[in-house]
Chain A
Amino acid sequence: MDVVIDNLPRYLEGFGMTILLLIVSGLAALVIGTVVAAMRISPVATLRTVAAFYTEIVRNTPLTLVLIFTALVLPYLGSRLPYVIAAMIGLAVYTSPFVAEALRSGINGVPVGQAEAARSVGLGFRQTVSLIIFPQAFRMTIPPLINVFIALTKNTSVAGGFFVVELFTVGKELANANGQAVIAVLLGVATFYLLITVPLGLLAVQLERKWVVQR
């Protein structure tokens, strides 16, 4: 226990980096994912195909492989990105198809009857989408989106293997330096991760209970 308290500043430093990775790559993934999801439901066939292709490819690539590309292969190809930025790009790209799928499944979850009813009472396309479909899709989208961000939180630890000093790296270094207290050191690291993931998980459950429309 003393090891954790003595090294609290280092833990917090790593925790800060983890949160930074989470926020930046989370927002970027949200942007890319929204674009991909919009492409997937667009009336233009090529856009749909491209988006489906992208989703399928990226979703089936391991995160480690993506990060190897951004952190090891890209510098060889001539990029001069710092490792933190490289990790953020990799995490954002890796997370984006999951965001897109969460959004799409939310939209697909609204029964066709809702749209049909809206159209039959004379609402136009814009009114149907903004007043009927979107409010319902939004509620069904938030819980899966939170789950995507929980996964992202855990995935930031992989960046620790690619020269980014975040929580996992701090834990590894402290564990190597304090051979007698490895368990305490690593449980400390785990606590910090749980500090993000457990509240997010509870929030997802809460929102779901409140929002899921009973049909």
Chain B
Amino acid sequence: MSNASVLFDAPGPRARTLSRVLSIVTALLVAGGLLWMFLVLNAPKESGGITLPGMFDESRWDIFTDPELWSFIIGQGVANTLRAAAVAAVLAIILGIILSLMRSARSPWIRIPTAVLIEFFRGMPVLLMMLFILLVFSTGDYWAVVGALAIYNGALIGEALRAGLAALPRGQREAALSLGMRHLQSKMLVEFPQAFRQMLPIIVAQLVVLLKDTSLGFIVGYPELLRTTMNNLSSFYGNRYLFPLWVVTFLIYLAMNLSLSWFARWLARRGDRRYRTGGKAGGAPEPDPNQGLLMAEASAEARQAEAPPR
């Protein structure tokens, strides 16, 4: 269903004109809307007798010519955000690997408690976990943020890896066992590397979520990017810079997240090419990590349903 042209006849001249006209009308509407927003924001505002300059007035943006401000934003804000995200990402992947192996263990004494644990962590807000670590273990804001992100995303990555393990063709395991490998060897040397590679795009997509979630540090008091700009800087420079600071923060986040998202998409496309020779010709829809996980889980379940437990 990637190309909708199957749904209707090829448009004739009239339909094509209509579509082009609609296209132009929409473009004009959007441009008009943006212009209107710009004008409203730019209009000087009366407030208690004094006229405040518009949001795009120079006097609201002059602080950004100061290199010291930028070194503070980058040196404290961006650096703390990236540091927390990087440490949490490494811990989350390690935790995810351990959880996925325990979750697919043969002994129910390991498998079932792990499943319950994963469900518990998956169903809880990260923010609550941060508060819990902060108050119960009194570790300080940094470890509250990193710990909560690592546990939460570790549980999600673990679940993704488990789905990847279960979705592998059974022959892989059978072949490994028939070569004389032990269960653990088969799992670590044969099954797990394949599952990890197949689930890599999903894992990276999860890391984008992790990077976004470091912003929750704003609420628990960790001085990451958001707290640096919207709290430290805006109280230092005053409220008149609130909007410009927000815009700058927004752009920095977009730059960070978009580059990571593009990396995830590139990985997914690369993996697709390698594993799916032939496949659909032309304009394949961009892979959706969520859908990938669902498909893996669905095929895993189908496999479990058709065969008794191994």
**Residue of B6, B26, B291 contacting most chain A CB atoms (<10 Å):** B6
Contact, CB under 8 Å: A168 / B127: yes
A201 touches B135 (CB 8 A): no
Q: A110-B1, A143-B294 are in contact. List 13 more A-B contacts (CB 8 A).
A: A46-B24, A60-B257, A60-B258, A61-B257, A63-B215, A102-B290, A108-B285, A133-B1, A157-B125, A161-B216, A197-B123, A197-B124, A214-B302
Residues of B in contact with A, size category = 35 or more
Q: Is A13's CB within 8 Å of the partner chain B?
A: no
CB<8 Å pairs between A and B, sample of 5: A108-B288, A143-B294, A144-B291, A171-B128, A201-B123
* Interface of A (DSSP majority class): helix
- How far apart are the CA atoms of A147 and B294 in the complex, in Å? 11
Chain B contacts for A183, CB-based, 8 A: 132, 136
The answer for the CA separation of A112 and B279 in the assembled complex, in Å, is 13
- Which of B23, B218, B243 contacts A76 (CB under 8 A)? B243
Flag whether A182 is at the interface (Cβ < 8 A). yes
Are A154 and B253 also in contact (CB < 8 A) when A175-B131, A182-B135 are?
no
Chain A interface residue number, banded: 35 or more
The answer to the question of B298 belonging to the interface, with a C-beta cut-off of 8 Å to chain A, is: yes
In the complex the two chains form, is B297's CB within 8 Å of A208's CB? yes
Interface string of B101-142 (1 = CB under 8 A from A): 000000000000000000110111111100110011000000
Closest A residue by C-beta to B2 = A108
Per a CB cutoff under 8 Å, which of A44, A133, A156, A161 touches B22?
A44
Q: Hey, which chain B residues are within 8 Å of A59, CB to CB?
A: 261
Task: Please provide the chain B residues from 274 to 310 with a CB less than 8 Å away from any CB of chain A in the complex.
Answer: 285, 288, 290-291, 294, 297-298, 301-302
Min distance, Cβ B9 to any Cβ of chain A, angstroms? 8
CA distance A111 to B2 in the complex (A): 8
Q: Interface 1/0s, chain A 160-176, versus B by CB < 8 A?
A: 11000000100110010
Smallest Cβ-Cβ distance to A39: which chain B residue: B26
CB proximity to A under 8 Å, residues B1-27 = 1-4, 6-8, 11, 19, 22-24, 26-27
Measured CB to CB, the residues of B under 8 A from A are 1-4, 6-8, 11, 19, 22-24, 26-27, 30, 41, 45, 55, 119-120, 122-128, 131-132, 135-136, 208, 212-216, 218-219, 226, 230, 239, 242-243, 246, 249-250, 253-254, 257-258, 261, 285, 288, 290-291, 294, 297-298, 301-302
Contact B131 A186 (CB under 8 A): yes
Partner of A73, one of B6, B23, B246, B258: B246
- The interface bits of chain A over 38-62 (1 if a CB of B lies within 8 angstroms of the residue's CB, else 0) are 0001011111001000001101111
Residue of A nearest to B127 (CB): A157
- Rounded to whole angstroms, the CA-CA distance of A201 and B131 in the bound complex is 24
Min CB distance, B116 to chain A, in Å? 10
**Contacts A64-B226, A68-B226 given; does A161 touch B291 at CB 8 Å:** no
Judged by a CB distance under 8 angstroms, whether A189 is at the interface is yes
Q: Which residues of A contact B45 (CB under 8 A)?
A: 78
On chain A, the residues within 8 Å of B301 by CB distance are 208-209
Are A155 and B125 CB-contacts (below 8 A) given A73-B246, A105-B291, A214-B302?
yes
Query: Nearest chain-A residue to B24 (Cβ)?
Result: A46
Given A56-B258, A60-B253, A144-B294, A44 contacting B127 (CB threshold 8 A):
no
When C-beta atoms are compared, the residue in chain B nearest to A115 turns out to be B6
Closest residue on chain A to residue B227 by CB atoms:
A64
* B-contacting residues, A162-215, CB 8 Å: 168, 171-172, 175, 182-183, 186, 189-190, 193-194, 197-198, 201, 208-209, 212, 214
Are B23 and A46 in contact (CB-based, < 8 A)?
yes
Output the nearest chain B residue to A78 by Cβ-Cβ distance. Answer: B45
Among B1, B208, B297, B301, the one with the most A-chain Cβ atoms within 10 Å of its Cβ is B1
Most chain A C-beta atoms within 10 Å of own C-beta, residue among B24, B123, B126: B123
Residues of B within 8 A of A125 (CB): 7-8
